[in-house]
Amino acid sequence: MTLKAGSILEGTVVNITSFGAFVDIDGKTGLVHISEVSDTYVKNIRDHLKEKDKVKVKVISVDENGKISLSIKQAMPERKTVKPVEIDWQKEKGKPSQGNFEDRLSKFLKDSEERFQDLKKHQESRGRGYKKPSGS
């Protein structure tokens, strides 16, 4: 059987290294690079694969020297992507607004000033009767 790029086949993991896994497909061995094991980041390939595991692989390429590049993540069925939520802006316009930016800003400044004054009063009342030592 000749291996062609794009083919999806089943193979057996025969060896695991720090950079990938060697997979036997019909008597020929190809490499699944660590970046082609999973859609997520793979720090330790042994967390994902073990020797003698049966895996589906996609043939990425076969070079002129017979070196076979494989991918497990590309052989997986495509996951359905989550569609972004659509907002009906016309409906949103009908909601009571909290005021325009200037109104909200002035309310924030007023509240902030009131809180600051309360804090200042509290600190002054705590500080009465205490005097800084004069001199050194």
pLDDT in tens, 67-98: 999 999 998 877 666 677 777 766 655 555 56
What total of structural domains would you count in the chain? 2
More confident residue, 5 or 45: 45
Main-chain phi, psi angles of 119, to 5 degrees: -65, -45
In a domain, 134, yes or no: no
In a domain, 90, yes or no: no
Domain boundary among 39, 60, 75: 75
Rounded Cα distance between 82 and 97, Å, is 30
Residues 60 and 107 in one domain: no
Residues 103 and 68 in one domain: no
* pLDDT score for 17: 94
In a domain, 30, yes or no: yes
More confident residue, 17 or 86: 17
Nearest residue to 71 via CA among 21, 30, 28, 36: 36
In a domain, 105, yes or no: yes
Residues 60 and 106 in one domain: no
Nearest residue to 2 via CA among 30, 26, 24: 26
Residues 110 and 51 in one domain: no
Rounded Cα distance between 20 and 13, Å, is 10
In a domain, 94, yes or no: no
pTM recorded for the entire structure: 0.56
| Domain hosting residue 113, numbered range | 99-126
Token pair of 61 as six digits: 């390429």
Residues 67 and 116 in one domain: no
Confidence of residue 37 (pLDDT cuts 50, 70, 90): very high
